[in-house]
A and B are shown apart, each in its own frame.
Chain A
Amino acid sequence: QKEVEQDPGPLSVPEGAIVSLNCTYSNSAFQYFMWYRQYSRKGPELLMYTYSSGNKEDGRFTAQVDKSSKYISLFIRDSQPSDSATYLCAMTLYNTDKLIFGTGTRLQVFP
């Protein structure tokens, strides 16, 4: 079993839809959770960063963490074609800087 599981997609939605991206993890020692967006042939770009259970909102993006269920989500409201990219969840263990990534979910938002 992988430490971090993420549905690879692809996920195809119409413009304006609400998108839900999810990751599950097996190691309860993970403390910090991140979501990255990666466009083709580019480095990942940090979208959201959280370290506690609950919701964190930033514009159209909401990150949700449920440590009891070992489950994190990223919601995108009013999705735009420019949101089309691969979304990667990532997390770190307590007291380390080593990032463990999910496999990424490819999202396509069509006009």
Chain B
Amino acid sequence: GAVVSQHPSRVICKSGTSVKIECRSLDFQATTMFWYRQFPKQSLMLMATSNEGSKATYEQGVEKDKFLINHASLTLSTLTVTSAHPEDSSFYICSVGDRRNYGYTFGSGTRLTVV
């Protein structure tokens, strides 16, 4: 499977500020990347599908203007949480790969805490 690097692993920010999370595919040219959110002791919920060179596809209920996704190259997708609020505090995880290549590889996740 692919090798995925996610950065930062942990970030604390003040309410109202924006935070950018990077997801890099180190050895796989990813036309598609996926962003998930995970609350404590809950499963992963897909937020959006990031498409290289075009707009992201958001899942129902996910605010496009709050969670900005940019996928400018085949190796990098970024998720920006804009005007963050405490309820945005969560574990955000990206993934790369597809079902035809034996599954998906996940990044190590980013723990976001908004104070």
* B34/A97 in contact, CB under 8 A: yes
| A to B contact number (C-beta, < 8 Å) | 57
A17–chain B nearest beta-carbon distance, Å: 23
* B106/A103 in contact, CB under 8 A: no
**A60 within 8 Å of B by Cβ?**
no
* B6/A43 in contact, CB under 8 A: yes
Interface size class of B (residues with CB under 8 A): 20 to 34
Apart from A8-B41, A43-B95, list 17 A-B contacts with CB within 8 A: A32-B103, A41-B91, A43-B4, A43-B93, A43-B108, A44-B93, A44-B106, A46-B106, A49-B102, A51-B99, A88-B43, A88-B44, A92-B99, A97-B34, A97-B99, A99-B44, A101-B45
Report chain A residues within 8 Å CB of B42: 103-104
**B28 within 8 Å of A by Cβ?**
no
* Contact pattern, B 90-115, Cβ under 8 Å of A = 1, otherwise 0: 01010100110011111111010000
* Contact pattern, A 26-60, Cβ under 8 Å of B = 1, otherwise 0: 00000110101000011111100101000000000
* Contact pattern, A 88-99, Cβ under 8 Å of B = 1, otherwise 0: 100010000111
**B56 within 8 Å of A by Cβ?**
no
**B1 within 8 Å of A by Cβ?**
yes
**B70 within 8 Å of A by Cβ?**
no
Please name the residue on chain B nearest to A8 by beta carbon.
Answer: B41
Report chain A residues within 8 Å CB of B108: 42-43
A92–chain B nearest beta-carbon distance, Å: 5
* A46/B104 in contact, CB under 8 A: yes
A48–chain B nearest beta-carbon distance, Å: 9
Report chain A residues within 8 Å CB of B102: 46, 49
Taking a contact as CB atoms closer than 8 A, the residue among B4, B43, B109 that contacts A103 in the complex is B43
- For chain B residues 71-102, which have a beta carbon within 8 Å of chain A? 91, 93, 95, 98-99, 102
C-alpha spacing A92/B31, complex, angstroms = 18
